[in-house]
Amino acid sequence: MSIFDVRLETERLVLRPTSSEDFEGWAAFMGDAQAAHHIGGQQPRAVAWRGFLSMAGAWQIQGFAMFSVIEKSSSRWVGRLGPWMPEGWPGTEVGWGIVREAWGKGYATEGAAAAIDWAFEHLGWTEVIHTIAPDNLASQGVARKLGSRNLRAGRLPAPFEHLPIDIWGQSREEWFARRAHEEASR
């Protein structure tokens, strides 16, 4: 199976590897100071292009990276989320970033749950983390909805080593026990 065949679907979203048609949405997202605040900050188009290619390159080299998030109802690119582990990262992360127009719809939680399932099942991860700034209450809420908890203070690699972060997460066993409990409760 090629990385280009990877496609996850949720009730409202399609998650797939980065594709060239995603760049306009990506550039607008990274150009939005509020949306990009906790993911490296607002970026001019040329810098966003390099980050976009880094994500596509991670798919090619590592066989995983964050998925492009496509809203089924509109076929619109609404963010990126999923597995992420660049050099020096503090662990096996599933992270998220959604365009501001789609905030409050539950897309981060819905998509991240599918990405966590995929990371545990296909990448063999034993833990998933989320690196979250202490003042990022929205992402802390997503992490809680996913069943994660604040594990410890952490540090990102350069050039973000000066930013305070908390490492939220859970083990593979905790994740699947929670999923089984949710299924049994339905």
For the chain, domain boundaries = 3-185
Phi-psi region of 91 (alpha: psi -120 to 50; beta: other; left: phi over 0): left
> How confident is the model at residue 4, as a pLDDT?
75
Q: Check whether 1 has a pLDDT greater than 80.
A: no
Q: Which whole number is the average pLDDT over 35-62?
A: 96
- pTM, rounded to two decimals: 0.95
Q: Which CATH superfamily is domain 3-185 in?
A: Gcn5-related N-acetyltransferase (GNAT) (3.40.630.30)
Query: Which residues, 6+ apart, have CB-to-CB distance to 178 below 8 Å?
Result: 147, 170
Percent of the chain having pLDDT more than 70? 99
CA atoms within 13 A on the CB side of 36: 18
- Tell me which residue of 161, 108, 163 sits closest to 132, measured CA to CA: 163
**Helix residue spans in 65-171 (DSSP H):** 107-122, 137-145
Q: Check whether 3 has a pLDDT greater than 80.
A: no
Burial of 130 (0-12, 13-18, 19+ CB in 10 A): buried
